[in-house]
Structure 1
């Protein structure tokens, strides 16, 4: 039987929500092993003037806990 754990991670990017999600997974995978899935819980953006300056994502990362 596998035991799974979920953590919540926030990340941002000046390019896109997808880039922010990729950066979050890249950073989390440095210390969290056996990542199984990611769920994008929320997306938001910061607007400066008439343009988006920062894309933000709130992710739930699921990984398997090893003995």
Structure 2
């Protein structure tokens, strides 16, 4: 039986929500090993003068504890 843990991370990107999700996983993997999955919980944007300037995601990252 595997023991799994879930952490919540907020990340952003100037390009897209997908890129923001990749940024979250990339940063988490610097200190967390054995990442198994990522669940995108929320999407949001920053708007400036009618243009989207930043994409934000709130993700849950699941990893195995060994």
Shorter-chain TM range is: over 0.9
Q: How many residues align?
A: 66
Gaps of 5+ in 2: none
Shift, 1:50, TM fit: 1.3
Shift, 1:23, TM fit: 0.6
TM-score normalized by the length of structure 1:
0.97
RMSD of aligned residue pairs (Cα, Å): 0.4
TM-score normalized by the length of structure 2:
0.98
Gaps of 5+ in 1: none
* In 1, Cα distance between equivalents of 2:26 and 2:58: 15
- List, as ranges, runs of 4+ consecutive aligned residues in structure 1 with deviation greater than 6 Å: none
Task: Report the counterpart of residue 6 of structure 2 in structure 1.
Answer: 6
* In 2, Cα distance between equivalents of 1:40 and 1:24: 10
